[in-house]
Amino acid sequence: MKEKAHDNYNPEGYVRPEDSAYSKSQNRVAATLFILLSLLVFLPILLVFIVSVSSQDSVTAAGYSFFPRELSLDAYRYIFRSGGYMARAFFNSVFITICGTSLGLFLMCPLAYAISREEFHFRKPLLIFLMIPMIFSGGLVASYMVNTQILHLKNDYFALILPGLCSTWYIMILRNYFKSSVPEALIESAKLDGGRHIQIFRLIVLPIAKPVVMTVAVFQMFAYWNSWYPSLLYLDSNHTELYPLQYVLVNMEKSIEAITKNAQYLSGMTGYTPPSVTIRMAMVVVVILPVMILFPFFRRFLKTGMTVGAVKE
């Protein structure tokens, strides 16, 4: 019995060889699973890129394929045929995205911090005021009338930025994080040292809340970058210099569809028919490529923000 008990004895920190082998096998299975999941995510993106550089005849004959019969850059030549116009549209999208994200965080973060504090007397009325439009929306007609007739948002950058500047959902995410993850002891200590709420928010709360702030910033940025419907509502055809990239691509796709549908009536006329399928894929690449390039930088900021302001007990 003593020898058997001695065999089962495992002091803390000691790893049996069989346990180590089992752990390695688990790691291999997990690594294989994540590699397969990564391939499932990456392969559609790769297919879109390959189709975008394929010829229209190759796609028509063989369909979507990782190994096209013929490569061609006609889709990208068609998109960037008017280089200055596309460059202006790209600048508009970048400008709207940066301004909308920055101003949105500048407004939502202090508001979320204010309603997260118990000592703020108007916390409950403000919460109700924020929740009402989240549950009961006035609809598209009401928002359009308010923005155009009352706020006079029409044919300028403000018309594309201000309607989506603040989101109640993002404010509630920030508020819950400020309320649950920011140690109350730090705020009380700062108050005892004579710190005001503006200083506490800027020097203590924001560094601790960096993960959620960056997460909201990424969501807000993607929303502005992919937005094209406000341009349809608030921009006239005489203000094409304000069109963002997504709206230009949507108009281009509509033009291609019109040309393709009317091609049967123009059989006796010589004209250029754009490669509609490959152009759509090229549009997807043009839209998602900046996001794919910038995402690793945001991932680094999110990872760093997880440890900023951590409290050790």
pLDDT digits (tens, 9 = 90+) for 98-138: 999 999 999 999 999 999 888 888 888 888 888 888 787 77
pLDDT higher at 306 or 265: 265
Residue 40 within a domain: no
- Banded pLDDT at 313 (limits 50, 70, 90): very low
In this prediction, residues 203-225 reach a mean pLDDT of: 88
The span from the CA of 161 to the CA of 154, in Å, is 11
Residue 91 within a domain: yes
CATH number where 166 lies: 1.10.3720.10
The predicted pLDDT at position 277 comes to 75
Cβ contacts of 164 within 8 Å, gap of 6 or more: 100, 104, 223, 224, 227, 230
Residue 271 within a domain: yes
In this prediction, residues 183-192 reach a mean pLDDT of: 85
The predicted pLDDT at position 22 comes to 60
Residue 297 within a domain: yes
- Banded pLDDT at 194 (limits 50, 70, 90): confident
Mean pLDDT of the chain: 79
pTM of the model: 0.76
Q: How many domains does the chain have?
A: 1
pLDDT at 201 over 80: yes
Residue 22 within a domain: no
CB 244 within 8 A of CB 227: yes
pLDDT at 23 over 50: yes
Residue 21 within a domain: no
The span from the CA of 269 to the CA of 23, in Å, is 70
The predicted pLDDT at position 224 comes to 92
- Banded pLDDT at 265 (limits 50, 70, 90): low
Task: Give the range of the structural domain holding residue 234, as residue numbers without chain letter.
Answer: 79-305
Residue 195 within a domain: yes
The span from the CA of 18 to the CA of 278, in Å, is 55
| Alpha helices (H) along the chain | 2-8, 17-52, 56-62, 74-79, 83-116, 123-135, 139-145, 157-161, 168-181, 184-192, 197-200, 206-208, 210-225, 229-234, 245-261, 276-305
Residue 242 within a domain: yes
The predicted pLDDT at position 100 comes to 93
pLDDT at 96 over 90: yes
The predicted pLDDT at position 306 comes to 46
